[in-house]
Structure 1
Amino acid sequence: MLGTRKGKIAIIIMAIALVISCSIAGVAILQKKPSDNSAKKQVIEEPGDMLSMGELIVNLADTSEIHYLKTDIVLEVSGAQANKNVGDDTTQKAPLRDAIIGVLSSKRFAELNCPGGKETLKTELQEVCGQCLKPARVLNVYFSEFAMQ
């Protein structure tokens, strides 16, 4: 009886030692600091300056019926020249608004009303506005108002 009791105590002590060692290893792994390489990979892009284009009302390109689009577009622009290029200056903003009106008026009602139509339009506007604002970059295009009739 004495031999089996010592065997049970030895098994219990080994089990407790195993649990403690696994706990210590788990804590060590969780508290390990991330390496510098992984920190460099996570580049957080700062938000850009918001540039309002104001309200725009355009005729859509439909030939069978007359359709209108009323929208208010805000561009998120990055780069040191972002505010210097356009700002609130009407003479600087006019070519940009003209390019936007050209893109909007080339669209048909069905193109914009379908799923993904607005996202496609945002991509096109981002490219066109990016060309007008060089060297600044257009990060995103936002519609603060979008109504079609």
Structure 2
Amino acid sequence: MDNKKLATFSIAVFVVSVLVFATTLYLVFFRAPAPSDSSPKKIDTYKYDLGDFSTNIGSSGRYFKGKIVIETTNKKTPKLIEQNVEPIRDYILSVLISQDVKTMMSESGIENIKKDITKKVSEIIGTNDISNVYFTDYIIQ
């Protein structure tokens, strides 16, 4: 009788092992992965076109002509920019005039100008919602 119990117990353990193995295979190979929270979510952005800028570059005798667009993550920020467009444009012109041609022709120089503009526009409008500054036209003659 002991052998009969041992055989029944062995069969039960074998069946449970097969079920665990089959479940593991299913979960590893056939089940679709759960959506990951770490995947980047699309953030809505809003843009404000500051228009055309034309100015001399320092005392070099060279000339800058371009268009600048500010991107923000807050729907209300473009309205704040519009209400403060004169001091913002004035600051950007003063930044452009104070540059030298080498700076304005280098990628790192342009990135520094963008950072300066982002920082000052944020100060002027009183928010930190500026996500990027784009030069959509950029001509130096």
TM-score by length of 2: 0.70
How many residue pairs get aligned? The number is 121
Instruction: Output one character per residue of 1:14-47: Cα deviation in whole Å (capped at 9) or x when no partner.
Output: xxx9xx958545325x53425xxx51x4453513
Match for residue 78 of structure 2 among 69, 79, 83: 83
1:33 aligned residue: 34
CA contact (8 A) 1:78 1:136 kept: no
Which aligned pairs between 1:86-97 and structure 2 lie closer than 5 A? 86-87=81-82, 92-97=84-89
* 8 Å contact from structure 2 (residues 46, 75) kept in 1: no
For the Cα contact (< 8 Å) 1:81–1:135, is it kept in 2?
A: no
- Counterpart of 2:104 (choices 83, 107, 112) is 112
Partner of 2:54: 57
Q: Deviations over 1:76-121 (max 9, x none)?
A: 023253133133x5xx311111111111111100111134222222
Could you say which residue in structure 1 is the equivalent of 2:8? none
Does the 8 A contact of 1:82 with 1:136 survive in 2? no
Is 1:71 aligned with 2:66?
yes
Q: Determine helix, strand or coil for the equivalent of 2:49.
A: strand
Q: Percent identity?
A: 21
Runs of at least 4 residues off by over 6 Å: none
SS at match of 1:86: helix
Structure 2: 5+ residue runs without aligned partners? Answer: 1-17
* Alignment partners' CA distance in 1, 2:69 and 2:124: 15
In 2 relative to 1, CA 135–116 (structure 1 residues): closer, same or farther, beyond 3 Å? closer
Q: CA RMSD in A?
A: 2.6
C-alpha distance 115-141 of structure 1, shift in aligned 2 (>3 A): closer
What CA distance in whole angstroms lies between the structure 2 residues aligned with 1:31 and 1:77? 36
For the structure 1 residues 114 and 51, does the alpha-carbon distance in structure 2 shift closer, same or farther, using more than 3 Å as the test?
Answer: same
Deviations 1:112-140 (A, max 9, x none): 11342222222222112221222252110
Pick aligned residue for 1:47 from 40, 44, 49: 44
Native 8 Å contact 1:81 1:136 kept in 2: no
